[in-house]
Chain A
Amino acid sequence: MRERILTFIEKNSRIDIKELAILMGEDEIAVAEALLQMEEEGIICGYHTLINWDKVMTEKITALIEVRVTPQRGHGFDSIAERIYKYPEVTATYLISGGYDLLVILEGKTLKEVSSFVSDKLSTLESVISTATHFVLKKYKDHGTILEKHSNDERMVVSP
């Protein structure tokens, strides 16, 4: 049941527990308990909303920053990652295999804000060797959802 619930709410966390139980064909209390337990276990880490900010006047800029760092004895990459992800403007931080070490995703209001974060905060960290910043020009798909949808039901209204 857990996996079925997770698969569903990953795409629609707004559903209420009663309806979720109906769709799963499960008991409402059992579903509520499963959700609670998964929250406690840290399996469910939050219930967010996917927003296409491009459609809102508020300006938002997303940047992907490749960061090369020197790992620290005893902490590996974890402590430098922590110093980075604690900034609230950082929306995601991943340890990456390949040509660089950390991928930092940043959201800022202006280009200037993002670039000053990189030059003032990120680059000045002692273990940071180099950074490369990529600005996002357009989001086509995010969190498995295609943002610009144009799907009409082209099926005939009645068919055998």
Chain B
Amino acid sequence: MRNPLSEIVVDIKPSGIRKFFDIASEMKEAISLGVGEPDFDTPWHIRDEGIYSLERGRTFYTSNAGLMELRTEICNYLDRKINVKYDPKSEVIITVGGSEAIDIGLRAMINPGEEVLIPQPSYVSYEPCAILAGAKPVIIELKNENEFRLTPEELIAAITPKTKVLIMPFPNNPTGAIMTKDELEKIAKIVIEKDLFVISDEIYSELSYLGDHVSIASFPGMRERTIVINGFSKAYAMTGWRLGYACGPQLIIEQMTKIHQFAIMCAPTTSQYAAIEALKNGDEDVAMMRESYNQRRNYLMYIFKEMKLPCFEPFGAFYVFPCIKEFGLTSDEFAVRLLEEEKLAVVPGTAFGDCGEGFLRISYAYSLEKLKIAMERIERFITRLREEAK
């Protein structure tokens, strides 16, 4: 028999998260700070709207781009939140989570061999999606001393004549880093100067703890060269509903819709109806959840300081990214020992790129009570490591 597999797919490294998941799931009594999704249930009024849509028998396909009413609400929302106007008829597509939008966005824009700039540490999908789209992924290694923000110098150094797309993953998973208005402005200037395009993954935009989130699409000249990706998973605690969206110039959205039409057809109808309710009446829920995350973030920053675990203060998402270099263990070794010795699962920084070496991603999408137990375990563990080192 011939080899049934695609070499391109086989060559893609499996996600480091997957590997760690397999180890962690074996440990029955372990507690975990390893998830990348909210601990809140979807607010009831949103779930109720999903149920209602099922009761009404709204169980058919929607148009490829998604329900018009939802697209209109999304445009109102983005106008209100990031100050960018999109036409619901031609500049929005509803996708199966933000993940699909990343995939079809890259596939719609890339010709074989063109380069995609991917700042890392970042979400695990960008690199494989770029490869599957035929691009050459070019990694920009973000640095702890810059608090894992993308600097203009780093961007310029990575640009070649083949560079076409820059991925902007802020607020960032796994570091929690955000980019301020001034910093984004400098990036935008370079993007325009070098005639690049941006895929801005703003899925954590509502979880920003230092004033309102700023989108790179909002700078003059950027709207026409940016695809803004967002969704309902993080803001409204709707991960399992699988609903996201992409907005951008018609030229690109049209081609993304073509791929979506053939590969997906349309995003889940029930989820789309629930999402309309989320956008119409969900502001208070988002504010409540944001406040809770912020309290936990404050607690973690305090407790890390107490145990002298170095960690820059992240102002976005629900992750902290402490540095564990002093212990002389790799991120993997540290995480595995923490799991084995203290029954606590966290994700090694290397799952999000090689430059995550020496760091851990700790999620605070957990109740304070659980975080406190987990922090006791970490403290006990690092105290032991420090004593061993003496």
Where the two chains meet, the residues of A that have a C-beta atom closer than 8 Å to any C-beta of B are: 4, 7-8, 19, 22-25, 153, 155-160
Chain B interface residue count: which class?
A: 20 to 34
A19–B299 Cα gap in the complex (Å)?
A: 8
Are B21 and A23 in contact, CB atoms less than 8 angstroms apart? no
Which 10 A-B residue pairings sit nearest by Cβ, starting from the closest? A158-B34, A23-B295, A158-B21, A157-B32, A25-B298, A157-B24, A22-B302, A160-B124, A159-B36, A160-B17
- Do B345 and A25 touch across chains, with their CB atoms under 8 A apart? no
Using a CB-CB cutoff of 8 Å, which residues 1-45 of chain B contact chain A?
A: 15, 17, 20-21, 24-25, 30, 32, 34-37, 39
Question: Could you pull out 17 A-B pairs where Cβ atoms are within 8 angstroms?
Answer: A7-B291, A22-B302, A24-B295, A24-B298, A156-B21, A157-B35, A158-B21, A158-B32, A158-B34, A158-B345, A159-B21, A159-B34, A159-B35, A160-B15, A160-B17, A160-B124, A160-B173
- The residue from B17, B24, B36, B299 contacting A22, defined by CB atoms under 8 A apart: B299
B244 to chain A, nearest CB (A): 14
Within 8 A of A (CB), among B275-330: 291, 294-296, 298-299, 302
Contact B35 A4 (CB under 8 A): no
A160 to B294, CA, bound (A): 21
Closest CB-CB distance, A107 to chain B, in whole Å? 29
> Does B291 contact A160, Cβ atoms closer than 8 Å?
no
List of B residues within 8 angstroms of A160 by Cβ: 15, 17, 36, 123-125, 173, 351
- The interface residues of chain A lying within 8 Å CB-to-CB of B298 are 22-25
State whether the Cβ of B217 lies closer than 8 Å to any Cβ in chain A: no
Q: A22-B298, A22-B299 are in contact. Are A157 and B21 (CB under 8 A)?
A: yes
- Which residues of A lie under 8 Å from residue B35 when comparing CB positions? 155-159
Neighbouring A residues of B299 by C-beta, 8 Å: 19, 22-23
Looking at A7, A25, A155, A160, which has the most chain B CB atoms within 10 Å of its CB? A160
List residues of chain B with CB within 8 A of the CB of A4. 291
